[in-house]
């Protein structure tokens, strides 16, 4: 029997290790963003990097998202491998012209002649009482755009390994990282490395019901599955991981296997990733369902500051457990 050695680290440290490895392995890789250098990153992910790699590789930028995201796109066109950090996802709205009208379209508009290998990291999600200013889940918006590969980092292993693979991709990649996970510890293989960025992943095998989720929903769904097992309900948990393009095969295989689906998402319910997943299941596996698909999404309000209201605005483990019980009783 093989003894797999593991190490316990925080989500923040996993991100940091992946970023540092990318900078070491390829001299064309550099990091640019607000406060990534002297301050060490808004969430301390790049702390110490300025001293280690210097100002040519770790670049503090002015408070102009359109300006520095555009500069990152230009550097990618020039043969570099830029990692552009947008401090929080709400600030990315100021760079939509660059991301959507330039990065996502140049390959098509040039007739396949121009690739844009830029990686844009955004801190996303709800939590830490950042209120309506900084608590947003804009994943559905970016997942809507052709020409962008959109990744959601819902586990420590992906936090450690997704960046390396994204930097090999020739087209623009958006990576959503999550504020609420930064201080959470988990064990990963000590030699964890580059991760696949093409497919969803079954995080837990089950036979009674499929929970499909991404981002912070992954650990909540896994915790709910353990509690539900005490009641004899065996839940499968699927981490979408890649929000554009969505991995249809993994989803459909799970639906055919369990015949019941609950989708969990922090983003607002209307026009969400869950809306798309439900549509695909209706189109591709309707007759395999024993009960209607259900979803738990963020309440459609600007996110409150007060902790108890913030918690109430997004799905929690207890909500998942209750919804699964209701679905099984309905059946």
**Can you tell me which residue has the tokens 């994943």?**
139
DSSP 116: -
- List 65, 139, 266, 310, catalytic entry: 65
Cα distance between the two ends of the chain = 41
Please state, in angstroms and rounded to a whole number, the distance separating the CA atoms of residues 52 and 43: 18
**Residues pairing with 58 in the sheet:** 31
Catalytic residue among 85, 134, 236, 266: 134
d(C-alpha 145, C-alpha 128), whole Å: 29
Q: Which long-range contacts (CB under 8 A, 24 or more apart) does 252-258 make?
A: 252/280, 252/281, 252/284, 252/285, 254/202, 254/210, 254/212, 255/210, 255/281, 255/285, 255/288, 255/289, 256/285, 256/288, 257/207, 257/210, 258/206, 258/207, 258/208, 258/209, 258/210
Query: Is the separation of the CB atoms in 296 and 325 below 8 Å?
Result: no
Six token digits for residue 108: 């098509």
Q: Could you confirm whether 156 is annotated as catalytic?
A: no
3 CB contacts (<8 Å, ≥6 apart)?
none
The Cα 161–Cα 165 span in angstroms is 7
Distance of alpha carbon 170 from its chain centroid, rounded?
19
Angle between helices 273-285 and 248-258 (to 10 degrees): 60
Residues recognised as catalytic: 65, 134
């Amino acid at each position: 029997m093989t003894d797999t050695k593991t190490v316990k680290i925080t989500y923040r440290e996993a991100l940091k290790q992946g970023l540092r490895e990318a900078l070491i392995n390829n001299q064309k890789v550099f990091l640019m963003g607000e406060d990534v250098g002297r301050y060490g990153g808004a969430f301390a992910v790049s702390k110490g990097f300025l001293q280690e790699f210097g100002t040519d590789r770790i670049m503090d930028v002015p408070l102009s998202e359109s300006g520095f995201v555009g500069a990152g796109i230009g550097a990618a066109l020039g043969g570099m491998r830029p990692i552009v950090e947008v401090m929080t996802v709400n600030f990315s709205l100021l760079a939509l012209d660059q991301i959507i009208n330039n990065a996502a379209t140049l390959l098509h508009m040039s007739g396949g002649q121009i690739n844009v290998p830029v990686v844009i990291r955004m801190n996303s999600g709800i939590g830490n009482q950042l209120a309506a200013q900084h608590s947003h889940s804009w994943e559905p918006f970016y997942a809507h755009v052709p020409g962008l590969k959109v990744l959601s980092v819902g586990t420590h292993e992906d936090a450690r390994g997704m960046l390396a693979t994204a930097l090999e991709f020739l087209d623009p990649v958006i990576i959503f990282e999550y504020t609420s996970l930064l201080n959470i510890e988990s064990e990963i293989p000590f030699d964890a490395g580059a991760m696949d960025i093409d497919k969803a992943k079954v995080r837990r095998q089950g036979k009674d019901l499929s929970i499909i989720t991404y981002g912070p929903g992954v650990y909540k769904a896994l915790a709910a599955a353990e509690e539900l097992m005490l009641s004899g309900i065996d839940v499968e948990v699927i981490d979408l991981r890649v929000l554009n393009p969505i991995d249809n095969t993994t989803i459909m295989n799970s639906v055919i296997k369990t015949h019941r689906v609950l989708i969990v998402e922090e983003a607002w319910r209307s026009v969400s990733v869950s809306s798309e997943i439900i549509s695909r299941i209706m189109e591709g596996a309707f007759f395999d369902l024993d009960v209607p698909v259900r979803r738990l999404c963020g309440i459609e309000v600007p996110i409150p500051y007060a902790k108890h209201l913030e918690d109430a605005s997004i799905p929690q483990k207890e909500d998942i457990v209750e919804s699964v019980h209701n679905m099984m009783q309905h059946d």
